[in-house]
Amino acid sequence: MVLREATRRVGVSPNAAYRHFADRDALLAAVSDAALALLATCIDEIVERIPEGDPDVVARAQLRAVGTEYVSFALDNPGLFHAAFFVASDLESSSAPSKSGRSGRSPLALLTAALDLLVSSGAMPSERRPQAEFLAWSSVHGFALLLIDGPLRALPRDQADVVTQRLIDMVEAGFTCP
Amino acid sequence: MVLREATRRVGVSPNAAYRHFADRDALLAAVSDAALALLATCIDEIVERIPEGDPDVVARAQLRAVGTEYVSFALDNPGLFHAAFFVASDLESSSAPSKSGRSGRSPLALLTAALDLLVSSGAMPSERRPQAEFLAWSSVHGFALLLIDGPLRALPRDQADVVTQRLIDMVEAGFTCP
DNA sequence: TGGATATGTTTACACCGTAAACACTGCCAT
DNA sequence: ATGGCAGTGTTTACGGTGTAAACATATCCA
């Protein structure tokens, strides 16, 4: 459902892939790594061009940028997004390796940085910090999946974008309000 | 990967299923409906036993109950949870049919009710209400998937439970704080 | 009683992932 | 230059899978 069709599209014999990967899952794991690296690069690019300034507003902008780009990437490349979370991806595998790609920052690392800044700027109480990256991640991850796979499949893109902003509003408020 | 093995476990010929379902996907859709109904029943049971009282605290308790049971169900029945969101499930299909099961309330309907109560109790500003069910849903859905499939696979159950509560704290705060 | 309906089986086919054996190319050490 | 070797590709083959078609059986109602 993947391997043979992939070889066909590349115009090569079905078993050619076995010279490069142990089996189908190994190939998918490699694709997962590549997709993760690409996602990280996309997010990094947007975060990088946030102008410096008040740490509070920078932190909020970073949080928004990470979330927005995360679901944007999923909508633009649903196949790659799925592949990225196929398996493997054990927190470690998303941050540690990245031998081929540049940008040492994984998506998770970028999110963590934004949250750390949010705490150090005083906008987010430090009691709320533990595991916060997983909470924020869950929100955008779930939303992305509902959009590309799930019951929100039919939502038009522009509407999805505005709901994404509402989602990030909610997360930000949940972290930073009294 | 499913059909033939299923027939084998039931002890029946591979094609017996074709007398009941058009194809593999139709069978999976039926399983999805059943899983959705079961999930709704589980959530309903917990919500139902929340004692009456101050609408504000009832609404918050309902929100917490729905979220907690949602991820609890996913952790307890990962297979069914996956099946539930296999395909089909078009918002409508989760609420409308339910011809066989009892409890007309779908998971989404229960969540919607909790949010409506949260608004009418004054705890949640009505400007925040639009699409709020999808925001809350995204959060628990994503978290459940990260836990059973994704990078949080390794998190022990008791820890997952406490992070779930933190997640709901975040969502509740995001909805109800100034 | 007899036919329709529901359910199950057998046979057959194309496709998939994968193993094993074989063929070709380029490079390096002798 | 030559031999071997690592890298890459192909061919053939096997078991598993979803599905179509034809056939069988049981159950129920006119």
Residues A128-164 pLDDT 10s:
999 999 999 999 999 999 999 988 999 999 999 999 9
Residue B77 DSSP one-character state: -
At residue B95, the pLDDT reads 39
- Looking up tokens 């589980």 gives B42
Instruction: Identify the CA nearest to B27 among candidates B9, B4, B48.
Output: B4
Q: How many CB atoms lie within 10 A of CB A25?
A: 14
Q: Which fold has domain B14-176?
A: Tetracycline Repressor; domain 2 (1.10.357)
> What pLDDT, on the 0 to 100 scale, is given for residue B93?
47
The integer distance in angstroms from the CA atom of B129 to the C1' atom of D19 is 47
Distance CA A84, CA A67 (A): 16
- Which region holds residue A83: left if phi is over 0, alpha if psi is between -120 and 50, else beta? alpha
Q: Rounded to a whole number, what is the distance in angstroms from the first to the last CA of chain A?
A: 51
CB-based contact A167:B135 (threshold 8 Å): yes
Q: Is the CB of B10 under 7 A from strand C?
A: no
Closest CA to B70 of B49, B93, B47, B97: B47
Q: What is the mean pLDDT of chain A?
A: 90
Q: State residue A99 phi and psi, 5-degree precision.
A: -65, -40
Neighbours of A18 (CB within 10 A): 15
Chain B interface residues (partner A, CB cutoff 8 A): 85, 87, 89-91, 94, 108, 128, 130-132, 134-135, 137-146, 149-154, 163, 166-167, 169-175, 177-178
Q: Dump pLDDT digits (tens) for A12-50.
A: 999 999 999 999 999 999 999 999 999 999 999 999 999
pLDDT the model gives residue A2: 86
- Do A133 and A112 form a contact (C-beta atoms < 8 A)? yes
CA–CA distance, A152 with B134 (Å, rounded to integer): 9
Task: Determine whether A75 is exposed, middle or buried from the number of CB atoms within 10 Å of its CB (0-12, 13-18, 19+).
Answer: middle
Are B30 and B97 contacting, i.e. CB atoms less than 8 angstroms apart?
no
Model confidence at A54, in pLDDT bands (50, 70, 90)?
Answer: very high
In this structure, the number of other CB atoms found within 10 A of the CB of residue B112 comes to 18
Sequential DSSP letters for B131-170: THHHHHHHHHHHHHHHHHTSTTTTS-HHHHHHHHHHHHHH
Q: In terms of C-beta density within 10 A (0-12 exposed, 13-18 middle, 19 or more buried), how is residue A156 classed?
A: exposed
Strands (E), chain A: none
pLDDT 10s per residue in chain B (178 long)?
789 999 999 999 999 999 999 999 999 999 999 999 999 999 999 999 999 999 999 999 999 999 999 999 999 999 999 999 976 444 444 434 443 344 457 899 999 999 999 999 999 999 999 999 999 999 999 999 999 998 899 999 999 999 999 999 999 999 999 7
If we measure between CA atoms, which residue out of A118, A167, A107 comes closest to residue A140? A167
**What superfamily would CATH give domain A23-176?**
Tetracycline Repressor, domain 2 (1.10.357.10)
pLDDT the model gives residue B92: 42
Residue B104: the pLDDT is 56
∠ Cα A86 A92 A97 (to 5°): 90
Q: Measure in Å the smallest separation between the Cα of B81 and chain A Cα atoms.
A: 13
- Spatial distance between the Cα atoms of B94 and B90, rounded to a whole number of angstroms: 7
Measured between alpha carbons, how far is residue A121 from residues A114, A133, B13, B138 in Å? 10, 17, 65, 28
- pLDDT band of A63, cuts 50, 70, 90: very high
What residues of chain B lie within 8 A of the CB of A151, using their CB? 85, 89-91, 94, 108
Mutation for B interface: A71, A89, A135, most B CBs within 10 A: A135
Cα–Cα distance between A170 and A166 in angstroms, integer?
6
pLDDT in tens, A72-103: 999 999 999 999 997 644 444 443 343 334 44
Q: How far apart are CA B58 and CA B171, in angstroms?
A: 16
Tokens matching residue A125:
């109480």
Closest among A36, A46, A40 to A103, alpha carbons compared:
A40
* Contact (CB<8Å) A91/B140: no
- Which residues fall inside 7 Å of strand D, measured at CB? A 12-16, 18-20; B 1-5, 14-15, 18, 23-25
Please tell me whether any atom of strand C lies within 7 Å of the Cβ of B14: yes
State the best of B1, B89, B138 to mutate against chain A, taking most chain A CBs within 10 Å: B138
8 A C-beta contact, residue B138 and residue B83 = no
A57 pLDDT above the threshold of 80:
yes
A27/C17 CA-to-C1' distance in Å = 12
Instruction: State the Cα–Cα distance between residues B36 and B106, nearest whole angstrom.
Output: 8
